Amino acid sequence: MKKEFLEAGKIVTTHGIKGEVKIMPYTDSPELLAEFDRLFLGKEHKEVIITRSRAFKNTVIAKIEGVDTPEEAEKLRNKMLYMHRDDLELDQDTYFVADLIGLEVKDADTGQLYGKIIDVMQTGANDVYVVKGEREYLVPAIAEVVVSTDIDGGAMTIRPLEGLFD
């Protein structure tokens, strides 16, 4: 099932004297998170307007509308920020990690169930799916292995490289 709101990052501390916050991004890059002009705060997903933001080292420094003092910003420390999935367009054959977690992984030829995706590791060259079945398997997220991904159907079919499950 697709989540409407996806974790974008966590407010880790305040910054400066004008109520800015420092966000540890959960996105591929701080620059991507800095592009958003609206995010959603906490479990209630309260919409907040980002009046300005910039990438700073591995984080994002952001000014949230209505938060004007360090004391107000401090109250937001450790709060999660979410993005609405409709605010982000993905390329074809690109998926949100949150949508991949929990997919059943099956063999494209035999129908054998290998397990479920429990994590996605970003290695640089390509992602690697951590599949938990009888044991944990590492499945490279490459076209030669992944035959199809059906988010709505909750399944991924693969054609394993020789030796992958030995």
Asked if 11 and 45 sit in the same domain, the reply is yes
Instruction: Work out the pLDDT band at 1, boundaries 50, 70, 90.
Output: low
pTM, entire model: 0.68
Which amino acid belongs to residue 112? Q
Asked if 102 and 81 sit in the same domain, the reply is no
Identify the CA nearest to 25 among candidates 42, 13, 8: 8
**CATH number of the structural domain spanning residue 148:** 2.30.30.240
Asked if 127 and 105 sit in the same domain, the reply is yes
Q: Is the pLDDT of residue 89 over 90?
A: no
Asked if 145 and 114 sit in the same domain, the reply is yes
* Residue ending a domain, choose from 47, 67, 87: 87
Those residues with Cβ within 8 angstroms of residue 44's Cβ, 6 or more apart along the chain or in another chain = none
- Classify residue 108: in a domain, yes or no: yes
Pairing mode of beta strands 80-84, 113-122: unpaired
Identify the CA nearest to 33 among candidates 53, 13, 5, 4: 53
Asked if 83 and 126 sit in the same domain, the reply is no
Those residues with Cβ within 8 angstroms of residue 14's Cβ, 6 or more apart along the chain or in another chain = 20, 21, 22, 70, 73, 74, 77
Pairing mode of beta strands 113-122, 127-132: antiparallel
Q: Is the pLDDT of residue 86 over 60?
A: yes
Asked if 44 and 73 sit in the same domain, the reply is yes
**CATH number of the structural domain spanning residue 78:** 2.40.30.60
Q: Is the pLDDT of residue 50 over 90?
A: yes
**Phi and psi at residue 100, to the nearest 5°:** -80, -35
Asked if 23 and 74 sit in the same domain, the reply is yes
Domain count, the chain: 2
| Parent domain of 117 | 97-158
Asked if 62 and 107 sit in the same domain, the reply is no
Q: How many CA atoms lie within 13 A of 108 on its CB side?
A: 13
Asked if 103 and 76 sit in the same domain, the reply is no
Q: What's the pLDDT score for residue 155?
A: 94
Give the pLDDT confidence of 15-46 residue by residue, as tens digits. Answer: 999 999 999 998 777 888 899 999 999 999 99
